[in-house]
Structure 1
Amino acid sequence: MLGMKFAAVLCLSLFMVKTVGAKQYKFAVVPKEENNPFFQASREGCEAAAKELGNVECIFRGPKGVDVRKQDKIIAELVAEGVDGIAIAVAQSAFILDNSMKKALSAGIPIVTYDSDFETEAVNRNPNLRAAYIGTNDFELGKALGEALKAEMPNGGKVIIQSGRSDSPNLNLRVMGVRSALSGREYEHSPGKRLMGEAGWTEPTKPLYNFGSFEQALEDLKNVLNSYKQRDIHAVVAVGGWSQFLTTYRNVVEPYKQAISDKEIIIITADTADEQLVYLKDGLAHANVGQNPFEMGRQAILTLYKLATKKPVEEIQYIPMTYCTQENYQTCTKN
């Protein structure tokens, strides 16, 4: 018995010595914005991976709201601090490439992207720009949003698309996916072309851009709901969860609950945060297509650790999506 206790203590001591003696790494995760439930979940994934590994510190730092210049400044600061790797959710590809990324590459700091990648053309020009992309297949996410709309309205109609920025690489891919699903066409470049009657679908306006503002996204949705009958609009597809991250979403949408139930107006939205699933339960939306930001943050750190320890990584790491409706909202995000 004493021998077994001695062996257990010895093993524990050896483990502690190994952990204490191991090189300590500092990896940074830079979201598009900190004040967003999606990116807060990626922070939790970052911290979970750091705890798993034991000799890693997770640094989560980004602008409070979407701000390309502030994100660029934060990346430059992290490079100056000498972190061992950076995972970036790219807000705007060109500006970061012209500024902080030059410093990061010059310093030899491993870079991965998550949630939002650099422009495809930029990656093709410089294959060493980033070692990996971890996140959703954004084109397929957009297609899934479009297919969800078709399931509710198989004969077409007029649709408003909500997006964040016109120069956001990942959001443009989602917009292209929506258009491709509805039109049945393939587009050479994102965000595709505005729908002008293809397969019965029309976009009466260009996408409504909110620049990452939840309040603006909700105000845009409110304006559509207030005027959908006069303008003969049948659906709203949001390629991000912006408006549904506000508790006031309920106040705006609830007056139209019967119209939503009767499918006079269809609401399809990206992301499946807990608060969004409540809106499905209460009949205040038709469908959500979700991502797994926790796993993105976790895999970003695990990938940076592999790079720092000279292990191979997969360049493209797609995280599976979730598909939620009023019927399956209780189980759609469960593993």
Structure 2
Amino acid sequence: MNNNKTGASARAVLTMALALTAAAIGLAQPAAAAEKVRIAMVVKSLGNGFFDAAHEGAKEAAKELGDVDIIYTGPTTPTAEGQIEIINSLISQKVDAIVVSANDANALVPIAKRAAQRGIKVISFDSGIARAGRLMQLNPSNAELIGVKQIQMASEAIGGAGEVAILSATAQATNQNIWIGEMKKALAKPEFSKIRLVATVYGDDQSDKSYREALGLLRSHPNLKAIIAPTTVGINAAGKAVVDEKLVGKVYVTGLGLPSEMAGHVKSGAVKSFAIWNPIDLGYAATFAAYQFVKGKNQGKDGETVAVGRMGSIKLDASGEAALAPPFTYDAGNVDKFAKIF
């Protein structure tokens, strides 16, 4: 019986030794690399300088967070159909989050819901998806401030009186329509009573079409004093049209543009001033926000505060929206400095 006990003890010791050895071997092995969070940024269209700058901000956020991979993508032309096809592919790739600037607020809702059902966190930025299709919408600025700012710049350029027209992106672009609505509200104010909006046209955020639409405005409205383009593609095209038609000093262009693209138009005299927020900051903040949702730190509830890295924090309103920063004005005094950045 003593021999049996001795044998059992020996076996127990041997088992424990093997277990300890196995544990030691396991500890000696390098830990598996943590799987990275994959965040897809779906923009209105590729080749757009505004979104290229937003991509730089997304990459900055990814580097700062350390465990993020950015997938930057978008259709070749700014259509909802193109974005739907891309998002469908991203669902198959099982990305963790999708950050999208929508070409059509409502058309993207069904595919965005499908992504959410697969556990993908969907947020929109710049141009929003309707509330039912996303957790949050990051607006680059306050819509009223953006609308009023553009009317103010046009008024200053034309001396407070005259005909103006709007050259927008797509007719379905959420942000464009909201800003146009705010511009019309501003025009109803007494201080802008001598300015008359004579037309609103759409260039679909395509350079060639925007240029043709700008030419159409200049030729159809001989008394036109200003073209307001709340789109970086449109304002650039309108500036070129004014120069080509030899109307510098007679018709002014303003709106939302990139300093790198608008510096030449400011120097030509076609543009006195324009505005934009920093798209790098916008892309950075949107990526940082998406990461918070993936990590479960935010759910998109009314009043939630979302951390956005070096940009501080943003607070969601009852519609799940938040504004990042007020628009900044660029003119001959500062455009060259910022043109080196974006």
For normalisation by structure 1, the TM-score amounts to: 0.78
Partner of 1:236: 227
CA distance in 1, matches of 2:101, 2:172: 14
Match of 2:294 in 1: 308
1:183 to 2:195 alignment: no
- CA drift at 1:278: 2.5
Report deviation, 1:103: 0.5
Does 2:274 correspond to 1:288?
A: yes
Residue 58 of structure 1, CA deviation: 0.2
* Equivalent position of 1:110 in the other structure: 121
Amino acid at match of 1:108: G
In structure 2, the residue matched to 1:193 is none
Query: How many Å apart are 1:81 and its aligned residue?
Result: 1.3
- Aligned pair in 2 of structure 1 residues 328, 242: CA closer, same or farther (>3 Å)? same
TM superposition shift of 1:134: 4.6
Once superposed, which parts of structure 1, at least 4 consecutive aligned residues long, lie more than 6 Å away?
332-335
Q: Any conservation in 1 of the 2:235–2:257 contact (CA below 8 Å)?
A: no
Contact 2:236 2:257 in 1 (8 A): no
Secondary structure of the structure 2 residue equivalent to 1:204: strand
Note if contact 1:134-1:300 (Cα within 8 Å) is conserved in structure 2: no
Equivalent residue runs for 1:320-335 within 5 Å = 320-331=326-337
Residue 268 of structure 1 is aligned with which of 246, 249, 254? 254
The answer on whether the counterparts of 2:58 and 2:284 sit within 8 Å (CA) in structure 1 is: yes
What is the rounded CA distance, in whole Å, between the counterparts of 2:119 and 2:233 in structure 1? 35
Distance 1:306 1:242 in 2: 32
Q: Is the 8 A contact 2:242 2:251 kept in 1?
A: no
Aligned equivalent of 2:111: 100
- Counterpart of 1:31 in structure 2: which amino acid? V
Given that 1:138 and 1:171 are in contact with CA atoms closer than 8 Å, whether structure 2 keeps it comes out as no
Distance 1:310 1:101, change over 3 A: same
Which of residues 170, 176, 184 is equivalent to 2:175? 170
What is the CA-CA distance between 1:66 and the residue it aligns to? 0.3
Asked if the contact 2:163/2:198 (under 8 Å) is kept, the reply is yes
Q: Which residue type is aligned with residue 241 of structure 1?
A: T
SS of residue matched to 1:306: helix
Larger Rg: 1 or 2? 2
Is the 1:50–1:58 contact (alpha carbons within 8 Å) kept by the matching residues of 2? yes
* Structure 1, gaps ≥5 residues long: 1-16, 186-197
Q: How many Å apart are 1:59 and its aligned residue?
A: 0.3
Q: Tell me the alpha carbon deviations over residues 238-276 of structure 1, each in whole angstroms, 9 at most, x when there is no partner.
A: 111214556x954x433566x533xx3221131223121
Secondary structure of 2:40's counterpart equals: strand
The one-letter code matched in structure 2 to 1:129 is R
Give the equivalent residue in structure 2 for 1:159. Answer: 164
| 1:64 aligns to 2:76 (yes or no) | yes
Cα distance, 1:111 vs. partner?
1.4
The one-letter amino acid of 1:238's match is A
Alpha carbons of structure 1 residues 102 and 90: separation in structure 2 relative to 1, 3 Å: same
2-side partners of 1:328 and 1:181: how far apart?
A: 26
Structure 2 partner of 1:194? none
- Is the counterpart of residue 319 in structure 1 residue 325 in structure 2? yes
Distance in 2 separating the partners of 1:69 and 1:131: 22
- Separation in 1 of the partners of 2:217 and 2:136? 42
Tell me if the contact between 1:142 and 1:174 (Cα under 8 Å) persists in the aligned partners.
yes
- Aligned sequence identity (%): 21
C-alpha contact (below 8 Å) 2:235/2:254 kept by paired residues: no
Bigger mean CA offset, 58-67 vs 325-334: 325-334
2:236 and 2:166 map into 1 onto residues whose CA distance is 17
Secondary structure at 1:33's aligned position in 2? coil
Letter in 2 for 1:178: M
Q: Which amino acid aligns with 2:43?
A: P
